[in-house]
Structure 1
Amino acid sequence: MTIVEKYRPSFHYTPRKGWMNDPNGLVYFDGEYHLFYQHDNYDRVFQNMSWGHAISTDLVHWEEYPKAIVPDDDGLGMIFSGSAVVDKNNCAGFGANTLIAFYTSTNPRQQQCMAYSTDKGRTWTKYSGNPVIKNVQGGNIPNDFRDPKVIWHEDSQKWIMSLAVQDHIDFWSSRNLKDWEKESEFGHGSGSHNGVWECPDLFELEVDGDKNNKKWVLIVSINPGGPNGGSATQYFIGDFKEADGKLTFISDQKDEKWIDYGTDNYAGVTWFNIQNKVISIGWMSNWSYADKVPTENWRGAMTIPRELKLKNIQGDIIVTSEPIEALQRKFEHTIATTADVKINSDIKVGKELSSSRIKMKVDIDEVSDVGIEFSNRVGENIRIGYNLAKWYLYVDRSNSGKVDYAPILNKLHKAKLERRLDKLDMEIFVDKSSVEVFFNGGEYVMTEIIFPTEEFSMVKVYSDNKTEIREFQIESLSGI
């Protein structure tokens, strides 16, 4: 008999049971996308961390596999977050095209270890020389020393490891993936420092698709310190190159820039070995309440995968996020169009709304507040919109259902704008327990988890003045 779980998502990855947080070891190899993650399949709270494992051929359909890397009697403790690479040139000596994972062990202090797989990620062997970067008591490294993200740096012909070290990022280099040397640090005096830095990632992107204009991007998660409370992920744009004989990240950015202004996209990192694109996924929760969400059997979901790009918008270069194309093609059944919309009136669309994508474009010349509302028969709702009077985009989930387990849920979550928008363009993905909102082609993103006591079944476009709807379409999911 199939058991239907009330809040189990339709198109977001969740483990069958137990706790899940950070995505780990994202790597593409031989037609398969590997998603590892912090996992405890014995409980719904953070403890006994291992690497869970799922595989997809399209980043949409996932198959859960047995846990990949687990604690054992090596004395090094739990398996914390990290990354994975394809060692195509056999730098480490385990064989060409070996998958090599890097993770943080916890005992007696946080140190960096490695494991390898020669069977396409199905089984893993811990390196006998672990840890590859030691952290001894009384040394000059704090205990907050974790989340190794390894990339290949073509210019230097070296492997580069980014590490979160309390309030900054360390960069280390290696030629054989076993012996590592510290290169430099970044972060002192830059960005948000209202919490511990975690889960770094470093990658290069073209600006507006121009191959002759590239920038390096460093993303760093922080807990707490997010723009709307709790945990969130910031980013920096700059260059990664040799300076004074050391490889270092250089950025003149002092202000805070955020990958996502919602409260439920944390610890996101990108896949290694995807050509010509940078695709990321994040943990769809927040450390302020992750252990209190009202799900059964499991806790924790992943965001939808997103392609990251660099765009120059009125002289400001920013990271944008767009839902991957493979997922977009899965929404095929139209349940409402522009012809169905009447401003400030409900459209009854039924339970298909709880697994849907909404596209909406409106002109907003004389409007001070405009948006869209999802609601149900018992009066619960979530409102997503734009306040022109005070220049912010927002999500209000304070009346979305079960919200009493965390004060942060009762706040209006905002993305403050640097300029006034003359139109509102939204693409919204609604699942059983989440909304992901992409404003103006991913220029701003807000991800929020929700737990309505009854599924949302009605939609309303609201406005406090005359509004012209340019596009409106709701499509439900098929095929997952």
Structure 2
Amino acid sequence: MPTYRQAAALVQSAGTDYSKESYRPQFHYSPPAMWLNDPNGMVYFEGEYHLMYQHHPESTVWGPMHWGHAVSKDLVNWETLPVAMSPDHNGAIFSGSAVVDWKDTSGFFDGGSGLVAIFTHADIYPDSDRPRQRQSLAYSKDKGRSWSFYAGNPVLSDTGITDFRDPKVFWMEEAGVWVMVLACGDHIRFYRSANLKDWDFASEFGKSEGSHYGVWECPDLFELSVDGSNLKKWVLLVSIGDNPDYPEGSKTQYFIGSFDGWKFVNENAPDTVLWLDEGRDNYAAVSWSDIPEEAGRRVIIGWMSNWSYARQIPTGSWRGAMTLPRVLSLTSRTGTVVLSQMPVQEIEQLRKESLSWSDVSVTREAPFIHGTNDDLLEIEVDLDIRSGDEVQIKLRSSGQSETIIGYDPEREWLFIDRSQSGLTDFNPSFACKHGARLAPENGSIKLRIWLDRSVVEVFANEGLVALTDQIFPDEPIDTVWIGAETGKAELHSLHIHTLHSIHMLHGSIGQISRRVHV
């Protein structure tokens, strides 16, 4: 396996076209080479969205963590920058966040403003084999192009807690303080600071609430309005690490409640578990800070993998990618407030060609079949499910692969079945069928599906349910098949859009049909 520098030189010298790589996503961010996991340091500043991430520049498996770095002006087209931060005498650079210090509360910017990263330094306690995790700072005066470690690192530690990591920090204007949300093994802790350097404990949450099948990681906390009204509630995201006893692997849950700058109060019963994404491949999702308030949106992105098999996926010279950026909303359903999510509207700029159908009846014997030369697709379906029969959308390759997106009206269950999706034998937990309850609305369900070579993202009823899965078909997907398991189903409307690749070679956007395994 070449080193990062060797791989980068090879890419440059060969003029590598990422569109030729069999499993390289074409409109999801992935690293040019080597390992990627959790999104970190996500901040909007002077017209750029910064996406940093856990990165091992010398291997395609997890190792000494650095912060990789990419920027975008539109959340669609990304420019990969040099590694932002590398391990130093305090340890490796684990997950964390970044903010704009507009008022120079830190004193790093000579009265101006700039970027401050708050992250976990990870090493080992001296003369022991016990992991040590402490919170540290770095700052940038040049729009994130270079970073300096704070001389006073670390700024927060606790010798009594081993899993003490992943700080998410935000400025709470009404309280006039910085708030840190920190994962502490089996619960969340909140800290407050006036200057980002000196932190005071405020409260803790979660020891007896939500799911605890794995270690708690990568929290986030923010406020959203309910159905666009003046009523606002706070949302706390918490990711849960892999546990071999649970086939789901790593997932992300959320809580809804109130936060007064000191304490978070869950408005649901302690045993209520709400999942951000019911698929297998959306982990450590956190939001961008400092998106202008007038934009009126909270945008998140997640690591599109699962700790059950992340080190084994068959992608060759790179490993790991991000989900589509998503806008979060709160909405009330049957008296309960829940989270919904949809990809940012900017994704629609990738549409290349669009085909539409209406009032189509399908059966198992007479399905709808559409052949395509593109495996970059956006599919919109308005499906009448009152016949009571299971409906399936099959994404098929010319080989033996098919990924099924289905809905069972009797169980009110939306699912993905990737058991025959292609390469699945690299891990016994990968081939599976899984899903979530989805109630119909006025006798129908609406699906938005994005297919990106080795990725399927499904959003139902304006994002009330999301399913994100990786797939590794034996050949490019070239057929969309829609039919009923038994009986008949009605498609009120169907739109299939082919999409451009974001990977450009010599100024050309678009796909090249010949692909090789890399």
**TM-score, L = length of structure 2:** 0.87
Residue 462 (str. 1) matches residue 480 (str. 2): no
Question: Pairwise mapping of residues 25-424 of structure 1 onto structure 2 (< 5 A)?
Answer: 25-72=41-88, 74=89, 76-95=90-109, 96-108=112-124, 109-136=132-159, 140=160, 142-210=161-229, 212-224=230-242, 229-241=248-260, 247-253=262-268, 254=270, 255-275=272-292, 276-335=296-355, 337-338=357-358, 342-344=362-364, 345=367, 347-352=369-374, 354-417=375-438, 422-424=443-445
Q: Distance in 2 between matches of 1:160 and 1:450?
A: 39
Mapped to 2, the partners of 1:396 and 1:416 lie a distance apart of 15
| 1:479, distance to aligned residue in structure 2 (A) | 6.2
What stretches of structure 1 of length at least 5 have no aligned partner?
none
Q: Which residue of 2 aligns with 1:7?
A: 23
The secondary structure found in structure 2 opposite 1:91 is coil
- 1:83 Cα deviation after fit: 0.1
Instruction: Give the drift of 1:351.
Output: 2.9
| CA deviation after TM superposition for structure 1 residue 465, in Å | 2.3
Conservation of the 8 A alpha-carbon contact between 2:438 and 2:465? no
Give the drift of 1:371. Answer: 2.6
Q: Once structures 1 and 2 are overlaid, which stretch shifts more, 321-330 or 434-443?
A: 321-330
Letter in 2 for 1:214: K
Give the 3-state SS of the residue equivalent to 1:429 in structure 2: strand
**Residue 162 of structure 1 aligns to which amino acid in structure 2?**
V
Matched residues, percent identical?
45
Displacement of 1:24 after TM fit?
0.1
Distance 2:286 2:181 in 1: 12
Instruction: Tell me how far 1:347 sits from its aligned partner.
Output: 2.0
Relative to structure 1, the CA distance from residue 216 to residue 227 in structure 2 (aligned partners, 3 Å threshold; closer, same or farther) is farther
1:296-324 CA deviation, whole Å, 9 max, x = no partner? 21000000000000001121111101110
Per the TM alignment, residue 45 of structure 1 is displaced from its structure 2 partner at its CA by 0.3
Is the Cα–Cα contact under 8 Å of residues 111 and 134 in structure 1 kept in the other structure?
yes
Aligned equivalents of 2:441, 2:414: Cα separation in 1: 11
Residue 9 of structure 2 aligns with which residue? none
Alignment partners' CA distance in 1, 2:448 and 2:398: 24
- Tell me how far apart the structure 2 counterparts of residues 51 and 417 of structure 1 sit (CA, whole Å): 38
* Inter-partner Cα distance in structure 2 for 1:184 and 1:452: 48
Could you list the runs of 5+ residues in structure 2 that have no partner in the other structure? 1-13, 125-131, 503-518
Paired with 1:465 and 1:189, the residues of 2 have a C-alpha distance of 47
CA deviation after TM superposition for structure 1 residue 219, in Å: 0.4
Q: Secondary structure at the match of 1:110?
A: strand
In the alignment, the residues of structure 2 paired with residue 61 and residue 348 of structure 1 have an alpha-carbon distance, to the nearest angstrom, of 29
1:334 deviates by 1.5
Native 8 Å contact 2:362 2:490 kept in 1: no
Shift of 1:421: 7.6
TM-score, normalised by the number of residues in structure 1: 0.94
Q: How many residues align?
A: 468
2 CA distance for matches of 1:465 and 1:14?
A: 42
Q: In 1, are the aligned partners of 2:26 and 2:501 still within 8 Å (CA)?
A: no
Question: Residue by residue, what CA displacement relative to the aligned partner does 1:424-463 show, whole Å, maximum 9, x if unpaired?
Answer: 2100000010000001110000000000010111111121
From the superposition, tell whether residues 227 and 261 of structure 1 become closer, same or farther in structure 2 (CA, over 3 Å). farther
Secondary structure in 1 matching 2:430: helix
